[in-house]
Structure 1
Amino acid sequence: MEKTITLKVNGEPFSFNMTSEAYNAFLDETEPGKKVGPSHNLLMRTVAPENKDALRELLTQPAAAILLMQSLTEHYVPDLNIEVGE
C-alpha cells in the first residue's frame, strides 16, 4: 500500500511517501531499546526529496524522530476492527 502523508511541523509541511516495504523495514529494524535509529531511517527513507534537508535539521532535536514516526505511522496504518472468534 502506497500513501503520501503530509505532516505540518511548526507550520512547515513535510511530505512522506509511505510504502508497505518502508513500513515493514522499520518494523524489522525495531528491537527493544532501539527506537530512535529505526524511526530516523523510516523518516529519511520516505520523506520527499525537497524536504530532506529540513527534516535532517529537525531530527537533531530531542525526540523529534520518535514523535514524527508516531504521527506518520498513525496516519499510515489502517484502522482494523479485530475481534477474537469463538
Structure 2
Amino acid sequence: MSKQTIVLVVNGTELAFEPNTQAYNKYINELTMDDKVAPAHNYLNRVVADGSKEALAELLKLPGAGLKLAAKVNEQFIPELEISVKN
C-alpha cells in the first residue's frame, strides 16, 4: 500500500500526517475509558511528517486539539465501507 499524506490547515498552519495501519491499530488499542488524550497525542506524534513536528507540538498544548486532530486525520485515512446485513 502506498504512503498516504494528509495535510490539514489548523489556525493557518499546515500540518502533514502520514498515517498507516500499524499506527492506527496501536492508537485504537491504547484507548481506554479513562484515557483518550494521551493515546491521541502519541498517535499524532507517530504519524506527523518531520516538517510538521514543531507546529504539532505547539497545537497539542491547546485543550482538546489532540482529539480533534486525530479525528480529522482518521476521517481522511479510514476508508468508507458500505455494510449491510443479509438475512
Question: Fold-level match, TM-score > 0.5?
Answer: yes
Deviation at 1:56, TM superposition (A): 0.6
**Structure 2 residue ranges without an equivalent (≥5):** none
| Alignment correspondent of 1:46 | 47
More strand by percentage: 1
Residues 37 and 67, structure 2, Cα contact 8 Å, conserved in 1: yes
1:1-86 equivalences under 5 Å are 1=1, 2-86=3-87
Deviations 1:9-67 (A, max 9, x none): 01111000110001001011011121101100110000011110111111000000011
Amino acid at match of 1:23: Y
Q: Distance in 1 between matches of 2:40 and 2:85?
A: 31
Structure 1: which 4+ aligned runs deviate by more than 6 Å? none
The alignment's TM-score, normalised by the length of structure 1, stands at 0.95
Q: Distance in 1 between matches of 2:86 and 2:37?
A: 36
**Structure 1 residue ranges without an equivalent (≥5):** none
Q: Distance in 2 between matches of 1:83 and 1:31?
A: 28
CA RMSD in angstroms comes to 1.0
Q: Distance in 1 between matches of 2:61 and 2:51?
A: 18
What is the number of equivalent residue pairs in this alignment? 86
